[in-house]
Chains A and B, each alone.
Chain A
Amino acid sequence: MRRRDTKFKGEVLSAPGGETLQRCYQCGSCTGGCPTAALTNFRVRTIIHKTLLGLRDAVLSGKDVWLCTVCYTCQERCPTGVDVTELMIALRNLASKADYAPTPFKSVLKSLFETGHEFPFTGFTRKLRTELGLEEKPPLAINIPEALEEVRKLMKMAGASRLLEATAVKK
């Protein structure tokens, strides 16, 4: 017998992107057009239903919420006005807080915190840029310490860096 968390629905409803959760009438338009659903067992409709039923652990700890490609097809097709993709992102946020974020995603967060960018600027990049007649070091956060500091401050204020520290310890 699965355990239900009656507070879960409220958590999701008050998260940015989760406001429209309760409109769902389970028609399946979302899953019918989902690129991942066609190739795996990922079912966005079922995730919504489980969320409405309060099956917090099943939803947040599962790998399924991370299989959404964020293509927005479901949200576009939903006839009853559920922001399906934003809802999926809200669930991922809750899953992250509960320490279920996948490692490859956490690496991206780390890179953002350390350099202000999600992709590394390597020596090879700098050489390529010069060849193309571009500035070797463009005026982006990675090359401007004050700018990077601003980004880091924002991440700390919003709480993302805590996520990073927590995960570092886990490793």
Chain B
Amino acid sequence: MSKEEKRVGVFICHCGKNIAGGVDINALLEHARKLDGIVFAAENRFTCSEEGQATIRDAVKEHNLNRIVVVACDPTLHSTTFQRCGEKAGVDPAFTELIDIRKWTMPGSPQRVDPEQALENSKRFMEQTVKRIRLKRVIPQVEVKVEPSVLVIGGGIAGVEASLDLADKGYKVFLVERLPTIGGKMALLYKVFPTNDCAPCILAPKTAYANMHPNITLLTNSEVVDVQGHVGNFQVRVLKHPRYVDEKKCTGDGICVEKCPAKASSEYSAGMGKRKAIYIPFPQAIPRKAAIDADHCLYFQKGICRVCEKVCPTGAVDFEQKPETMELKVGAIIAATGFEEYDPSKKKEYGYGLYPNIITQFQLARLLDIDGPTKGKLLRPSDGKEPKNIMMIQCVGSRDEKANVYCSSVCCMYALKHAQIIKEMVLHDAEIYICYMDMRTPGKGFEEYYKQTRDLGVTFIRGKPSEIMEDPKTKNLLVAVEDTLLGEPVMFEADLVVLSCAIVPSQGTKQLAEMLRIELDENGFFKEAHPKLRPVETNVRGVYICGCAQGPKDIPDAIVQAKAAASCADSELRKEKIMLPEFIVKMGKPS
């Protein structure tokens, strides 16, 4: 390799005006021709085009080039394009490089400089790259046998969809979920927009199949605690927390739940209702098995009771159950850990947590659910009366410099959904007002849904409320808001206020990102490899992300991403063997 003459070709791109408009291409070309080892130098308007690539291949053949340097844009965009192009003409991909000078020339680039400076920078960068490519040696590659199995972290709709796709393709799937049931948030939404389908009903076929699929191993009540290895061969340690119920014996008949004397606030009711210490999360829970919450169980706390054990007909209760550790070997990992609701008690001016009749949309969803804590009756927390004037407030914790700057994508739609449910099914005569800054309903069928909601008589006030106070006698809320379309500030009296809160990353996202060695974006969601071109891949080969773990989105988009992630994993794992560089760099934590 080192004896062979290094014949370098340099291809300078105009990128239309993006580069040519900010640097003197001719001067750069002249400079290139003077460099050692340059056999050929040319310019091109759009090097990444069919035409441009053909120029490279022709030059390689004509001038016997064995090293290619393309002077153009960000390597993450087109490295692969040019490497493939070079390969077609016989140049090893390791010896084709793309360097970015466009960052210095393009309007809007934060690193843009004036043309003289851009020329200087580009000349030096080009020189360095040519020198380097002449010295470069290919890292030896090893052949790695690929494990035809995938770890999916998170059992919500995205995780379930990805698991089903991969399982159908023939891979073994380990679906790890930290709650005792899969289904995630979708199972608790009651209905979904814009079809107003029953959420658990359309979810059930998928979750049921995931439970039965011969290729899927469901690990509920479990967490990933360590990840080592690389694509094709990840070693994952999973900790299965004890549910104190033998899953093989439990039939889900619920007798234990009936007889249990201990109660706790139910996380599945978003704090609007209670469950027992031994519980089945909700009727459509999968697997339909009981679990014991040791923090509220009388036996674990005080050493008494054990009624559940006595009444269980199959003897499934097992207080001696211990946590189990499992070591899994998988070829790829998909993180689908979903989201949580922003906690609006941080927004002190709204008084959430201080005033009982302010709830969040997720809490409202649980109240409206006929299988929920109030069996579908909408009763306000302070006195159990049915509200007559309901005000919904959008953008709580989103589009907010003090909370989260992003738009949470789904809140406009789910507010409309709840307004429709209340008007059509629960309280026909209730007055519903939605305070918004902008109504964002872009998806398929969404504009029609917005119209439907207006036709039902829901009123829209364009204005973001400044603060909420409470009438101490009635516990009604006094919402101070300017109706900006009227130009009038009003003090609006509502007997129930519902806050549409932002979607935020699930707890544990940061720790999982560290374990997987993937990045987080500035809002704490998993970061995609490229926001436009590679939305479900990460900076780590073999690790993919999908669903709300990557950013706020609705169910159709979560499913699309899940299928995309599954497809990516399939592309890697369908080969029995893959080539990986012999050395793998291990990065320690900065001290």
Instruction: Summarize B's interface: helix, strand, loop or mixed.
Output: loop
B464: chain A residues within 8 A (beta carbon): 27-29, 32, 79
- Contact status B465-A79, CB under 8 Å: no
User: How many residues of A sit at the interface, in one of the four size bands?
Assistant: 20 to 34
Q: Is the beta-carbon distance between A37 and B489 smaller than 8 angstroms?
A: yes
Q: Which residue of B lies closest to A81 (CB)?
A: B401
> In the complex the two chains form, is B401's CB within 8 Å of A45's CB?
no
- In chain B, positions 229-285 with a C-beta closer than 8 Å to chain A are none
Given contacts A32-B480, A79-B399, contact A27 B437 (CB under 8 A): yes
B437 and A34 contact, CB distance less than 8 A: no
**Residues of chain A with a CB closer than 8 A to B481's CB:** 28, 32
Q: Is B116 an interface residue (CB 8 A)?
A: no
- A95: Cβ under 8 A from any B Cβ: no
Query: Are A45 and B466 also in contact (CB < 8 A) when A32-B489, A79-B399, A81-B401 are?
Result: no
Contact assessment for B400 and A79 in the assembled complex, using a CB-CB cutoff below 8 Å: yes
Q: Mark A24-45, 1 if CB is under 8 A from B, else 0.
A: 0111111111100110000101
B439 → A minimal CB distance (Å): 13
- On chain B, the residues within 8 Å of A29 by CB distance are 463-466, 482
With A25-B437, A38-B489 as contacts: A33 and B467 at CB distance below 8 Å: yes
Give the shortest distance, in Å, between A71 (CB) and chain B (any CB): 12
Q: Which of A25, A33, A43 has the most CB of B within 10 A?
A: A33
Tell me the complex Cα distance, A29–B436, Å. Answer: 11
How distant is A80 from chain B, measured CB to nearest CB, in Å? 6
**Alpha-carbon distance between A39 and B349 when the two chains are bound, in angstroms:** 21
Which residues of B from 386 to 437 have beta carbons under 8 Å from A?
Answer: 395, 399-403, 437
A120 to chain B, nearest CB (A): 38
Give bound CA distance, A76 to B402, whole Å: 10
Q: Tell me, yes or no, whether A46 is within 8 Å of chain B by CB.
A: yes
**CA–CA, A80 and B405, complex, Å:** 8
> Do the beta carbons of A28 and B395 come within 8 Å of each other?
no
B482 near A32: Cβ-Cβ < 8 Å: yes
Question: B400 contacts which chain A residues (CB < 8 A)?
Answer: 79-80
Contact of A37 among B395, B402, B462, B482 (CB under 8 A): B482
Give the distance to chain B from A142, nearest Cβ to Cβ, in Å: 41
Mark interface residues in B448-491 (1 if CB within 8 Å of A CB, else 0). 00000000000000111111000000000000111110010101
In the assembled complex, which residues on chain A have CB atoms less than 8 Å from the CB atom of B395? 27, 79
Given contacts A34-B489, A77-B349, A79-B395, whether A45 and B467 have CB atoms under 8 Å apart is no
A43's partner among B399, B462, B487 (CB-CB below 8 A) is B487
A28 is contacted by which of B349, B399, B484 (Cβ under 8 Å)? Answer: B484
Which residues of A have CB within 8 Å of B437?
25, 27
Q: A167 within 8 Å of B by Cβ?
A: no
A-facing residues in B497-542 (Cβ within 8 Å): none
The count of chain B contact residues (Cβ–Cβ below 8 Å) is 22
Q: Which residues of B contact A25 (CB under 8 A)?
A: 437
User: Within the complex, which residue of A31, A73, A76, A81 is in contact with B482, where a contact is CB–CB below 8 Å?
Assistant: A31
Contact A28 B482 (CB under 8 A): yes
Considering the complex, give the chain A residue whose CB is closest to the CB of B403: A79
Closest chain A residue to B483, Cβ basis: A28
Distance between Cα atoms of A27 and B438 in the complex (Å): 9
Smallest Cβ-Cβ distance to A43: which chain B residue: B487
Q: How far is the CA of A126 from the CA of B348 in the complex (A)?
A: 45
Contact partner of B466 among A26, A46, A73, CB < 8 A? A73
Give a binary string over B61-73; 1 marks a CB under 8 Å from any A CB, 0 the rest: 0000000000000
Per-residue contact bits, chain B 152-193, to A (CB 8 Å; 1 contact, 0 not): 000000000000000000000000000000000000000000
A26 to B465, CA, bound (A): 12
> Is the CB–CB distance between A33 and B466 below 8 Å?
yes
Mask: chain A, 60-103; 1 = CB below 8 Å from B; 0 = not: 00000000000001101101110000000000000000000000
A-B contact pairs, 10 of them (CB 8 A): A27-B437, A27-B464, A28-B464, A28-B481, A30-B466, A32-B480, A32-B482, A43-B487, A45-B484, A79-B400
Q: List 19 additional A-B contacts (Cβ < 8 Å) besides A28-B464, A28-B483, A30-B466.
A: A28-B462, A28-B463, A28-B484, A29-B464, A29-B466, A31-B482, A32-B464, A32-B466, A32-B481, A33-B480, A38-B480, A38-B489, A45-B482, A45-B484, A73-B466, A77-B349, A77-B466, A77-B467, A81-B401
Residues of A within 8 A of B (CB): 25-34, 37-38, 43, 45-46, 73-74, 76-77, 79-81
